[in-house]
Amino acid sequence: MSYTIKSLTSRFFFDLLTPSTFRVLLAAFVVLYHTLGFITIGHYAVYVFFVLSGYWIARMYTEKYTEYKNSYLVYLLSRLGRLMPMYWLIFVFSLIVFFLIPSFAQKTDGREHIQWIWAANFIVLGVANSPFQLIGTSWSLDIEIQFYILAPLLVLLFRRGWAIPLFIVSSMLAISLIAFHHFAYNILFYLPFFAIGGLIYHFNYQATKRIAVLCLLAAGALLFFNYAIPHLRNNYLLNKTSILLGFDYIELLNVVLLLLTIPYVSINVRLATKKELKGKEQLLSSISYILYLVHWPLLQIYAWFAGDQINVKKMLLLCAYYVFCVVLSYVLAKYVDTYFEKQRRSWLDRQAKLRQPAWANQPV
């Protein structure tokens, strides 16, 4: 029996849960966080996304974008080309919903927010600190783009031996901000998460499967006790103003859960994808991104239909909402984002390359 459980666990985490499937699960967790009041650790999934981004950007910039003559410009335009077309499409959809459903406009007609909608919300940079976010998850996209701008410099510093000092300094800064309850929505606050991903790549760190599973079990146990023990559940986990040792308890829990997930992340990012499944992986990756964004305007439509009452009709509408989120994300990923991605790759192929990658002669 134990052997069977062990085999199933290993197969799920290290065979079936590919990098893109993992991202879809994280995006789905964010959707649940926004729809189920008893889930209060939605930022955990966002922080895992930041770690994954730190790894993949460090890897792609080092192994791919440094091959180009105008490496920084090509890299930045390429990454923006990957994110922004679908964001703008969902932005337009959200804007339509905004004006049709009053509750989406924070119970106003939205006119007082129009300058922010067309400025920070459209450009994305700065939307995390704007008084109104048309797409509720766009704040993390703002942080992501800020990281994209700084990432090449961080990669250079890592290669010059500043990896550990940079991580320590950024962590101390973030901890100081948390301790003083100053949640600055900029890259300085979230840099340690991206740096962890960069460190995984830089030091080629990969935990053993045993360590990864044990850490995931520890994370599960920690979460279980938070829900099972009434004092923890009522006074801390479900209390969004709870403080422990001077720190926001829920944010502290998010970070601890993230740290316990890092060993698994170090394995997941290196799981090989069979050649015949690469197209499926790209589609799943696109679905995760679209689901992360499009579920927000759809949530406003659901809330408008469901109202405040808790009944069977509302539960059925919620199930329909989940299904529609997945279906719409799939359709947009397969028939729209595929086109955008094809254009981006075509543009990238036309960019001039160096004869030898810039990183080839640099000391590690």
pLDDT tens profile 253-278:
999 999 999 999 999 999 876 665 67
The pLDDT score that the predictor gives to residue 130 is 81
Of 44-48, 74-78, 179-183, minimum mean pLDDT range: 179-183
> Is the pLDDT score of 340 beyond 50?
yes
Cβ-contact 90, 290 below 8 angstroms: yes
The backbone torsions φ and ψ at residue 68, rounded to the nearest 5 degrees and listed phi first, read: -95, 150
Cβ neighbors of 177 (< 8 A, separation 6 or more) are: 183, 184, 188, 189
Q: What's residue 364's pLDDT?
A: 37
Average pLDDT on 66-85 reads 96
Q: What is the pLDDT of residue 195?
A: 95
In order of 23, 57, 231, 297, the CA distances from 338 in angstroms are 18, 21, 49, 22
What is the pLDDT at residue 180? 61
Whats the size of the chain, residue-wise? 364
The pLDDT of 23-48, averaged and rounded, is 96
287 band by pLDDT with thresholds 50, 70 and 90: very high
Which residue in the block uniquely carries the two structure tokens 């197209």?
A: 279
Highest mean predicted confidence (pLDDT) among 17-21, 141-145, 158-162: 141-145
What distance in Å separates the CA atoms of residue 94 and residue 32, rounded to the nearest whole number? 19
Q: Could you say which DSSP state residue 82 is in?
A: H
In angstroms, the first-to-last Cα distance of the chain is: 47
With 70 as the cut, is the pLDDT of residue 112 above it? no
Q: b/e map of 274-296 (b: 16 or more CB within 10 Å)?
A: eeeeeeebbbbbbbbbbbbbbbb
